[in-house]
Structure 1
Amino acid sequence: MTDTTPAGVAATYFGALAQGDIPTVMAQFSPDVVWHQPGSHQFSGTHTGIDGVGALLGGMMQASEGSFALVVTGPAMVNGEMVALPVRFSGNRADGSMDMAGVDLLTVRNGKIIAVHLFSEDATSEDAFWGQR
């Protein structure tokens, strides 16, 4: 039986992300998920639906030459439907790298992620890595 609580969905999502299990990652999203990507770079803004989020994540992997990685660095903090997790994310490519802390805030309803809000400790460096719009 799958744990459909907010904490359970978050654990499944981040576990699958760590293993590179993209089908399981994508299966955690509601069809009308809304992803809020911070910053002023080519991936910034609001991405909607599974196709929009899939395109975003695929674009990030391509732009990072397949090196983008995210690791959970502390316990999940749950407040009703919201789950906040401290993370560290990184990427490398021939002309640059990034490595910084952040917080991922997921909103989970009816066993699916309906919203994602991301926070990074160094928006300027993240913008530089991903490239301007």
Structure 2
Amino acid sequence: MNDQTPAAVAASYFEALGRGDMPAAMALLSPDVVWHQPGSNRFSGDHKGLDGVGALLGGMMEASQGTFQLAVTGPAMVNGELVAVPVTFSGTRTGASMDMAGIDLLTVRQGNIVDVRLFSADGATEDSFWGQA
């Protein structure tokens, strides 16, 4: 990638997710990435490194029976190395579903995403969907 501005890195990341290209999305994460998953559910907390984030995302796909999806719903907002992106995310599993708005806040340094912070419009519904460990 020639353009490694925070906006360009974030755009490439979300484009890869939209295509379902997890290797391309993961390649944009720093090896030392820290992913802050909100809420009080089995996936909540800090997930560190590519292995930790990969395990998190794999677990979410498994828990949602392969239905978890994320879509960008508006333009990225950039403030230096921070990129805030409005999204919707959804999933279904036996007996439950969710579909809600959120904000993904990425910190991008030297062409890599080093920090991911997620915000959900309805944390209680998200917690209920993911369930406890």
TM-score class, shorter-chain normalisation, is over 0.9
Residues 35-81 of structure 1 show CA distances to partners (whole Å, capped at 9, x for unaligned) of 00000000000000000000000000000000000000000000000
Q: Report what 1:79 is aligned to.
A: 79
Q: Report what 1:129 is aligned to.
A: 129
The CA RMSD over aligned residues, in Å, is 0.7
Q: Report what 1:94 is aligned to.
A: 94
Q: Report what 2:35 is aligned to.
A: 35
Give the number of equivalent residue pairs. 133
SS in 1 for 2:71: strand
TM-score (norm 1): 0.98
TM-score (norm 2): 0.98
Structure-1 separation of matches of 2:2 and 2:21: 16
Q: Report what 1:45 is aligned to.
A: 45
Q: Report what 2:103 is aligned to.
A: 103
Q: Report what 1:17 is aligned to.
A: 17
Gaps of 5+ in 1: none
Q: Report what 2:60 is aligned to.
A: 60
User: Deviating runs (4+, > 4 A) in structure 1?
Assistant: none
Identity %: 69
Amino acid at match of 2:46: T
